[in-house]
Amino acid sequence: MINVKKNTHELPADMPRKRLIKTHAVTNVYYGKHPHERSIEELLDAGVFFIDKTSGPTCHQIDAWVRDMLQMKKVGHAGTLDPKVTGVLPIGIGRATRGLHILSKSGKEYVAVMKLHEQVSENKVRQILESFVGNINQLPPVRSAVKRVRRKRNIYYIDLLEMDDREVLFRVGCEAGTYIRTLCVDIGKKLGCKAHLAALRRTRVGKILEEDIITLQDVKDAFVFYKEEQNKDELRKILHPMESLFQFIPKIIIRDSAIDAICHGADLAMPGAVEIDTEIHKNDPVAIMSLKNEIIAYATAACSTEEIIDKDHGLCAVVNQVFMKKGTYPSIWKKH
């Protein structure tokens, strides 16, 4: 068994943040519900599985299998993997499919085996790998789902884990949309020899780690227990609320009285914000949350954390996408 050292590098999802209190507020227990208090039926309406994709099927085939298993109409995945690639594959069901795109900003991690076509020293390989950290230009492979034009991608870190003859095992943290197959080819060119990707596994998507993932068989077994024996515990263990997609995004917590206005399409004004995460800058993506930690909307910050804390008037965030159903909280705003 390979002894893989744990890397100390970070993805965008790892940015440390603190929660600042702008003003104290309480939530009404009769409206809304904490995500972990939702029923299985509510989770099936908007939930997420973290699947361990096996080699062979396409991601769309896995979507179809989960759709048939759960008898659901809407199932989707975040971050397509090639058929032979394994690892972390977030699967959204029901209304949660609308939030899967959020994970594209969180960063991803892969462990890859690269095969060199000529013998190269380990020191040279290590040096060349390190030279790829930062912004790189990539041309997508011929067989890809996107237009073949050069585009910039960010490599957050590359760790050489092990080298055996001409096989190189390395871990890479990168921006979504980075082609590891192309990265191996480019590394080979810089080494002065050809190289190709021999095997690939995705070990992380944002804050979703390899130890969090389950198999398709786990999903099937848990759902059968739920349907036939009314044993909800197994399904509850593996079916996560939609809020799990927003773990890494900075958050603005708002008072109950402001929620329904957001659900009807209003942008967030300063008086509605009660708690704010640090390190928010103007035009950053933010998650607007309730005091019960429910996702209300995905938005763009209109100003920084400091301005939100200091100001009492003006626009706080521009809403891009609403996730909470209208009427979840009372329409207090209409009375004013």
Among 82, 256, 260, 267, which one carries the catalytic annotation? 82
68 catalytic residue (yes or no): no
Token pair 């020293």 is found at: 121
Q: Residue 155: what pLDDT?
A: 97
Q: Which residue has the higher pLDDT, 93 or 6?
A: 93
Query: What digits encode the pLDDT tens for the residues 154-209?
Result: 999 999 999 999 999 999 999 999 999 999 999 999 999 999 999 999 999 999 99
Sequence-separated (6 or more) residues with CB below 8 Å from residue 147: 140
12-36+243-335: in CATH 1.25.40.10? no
Domain with CATH 3.30.70.3190 in the chain: 107-205
Query: What digits encode the pLDDT tens for the residues 278-334?
Result: 999 999 999 999 999 999 999 999 999 999 999 999 999 999 999 999 999 998 755
Cβ(79)–Cβ(194) below 8 Å: no
Domain with CATH 2.30.130.10 in the chain: 12-36+243-335
2 pLDDT tier (thresholds 50, 70, 90):
very low
CA distances from 140 to 183, 237, 284 (A): 10, 38, 27
Q: Residue 205: what pLDDT?
A: 97
Whether residue 240 has pLDDT greater than 50: yes
Domain at 107-205: CATH code: 3.30.70.3190
pTM: 0.91
Query: What digits encode the pLDDT tens for the residues 24-69?
Result: 999 999 999 999 999 999 999 999 999 999 999 999 999 999 999 9
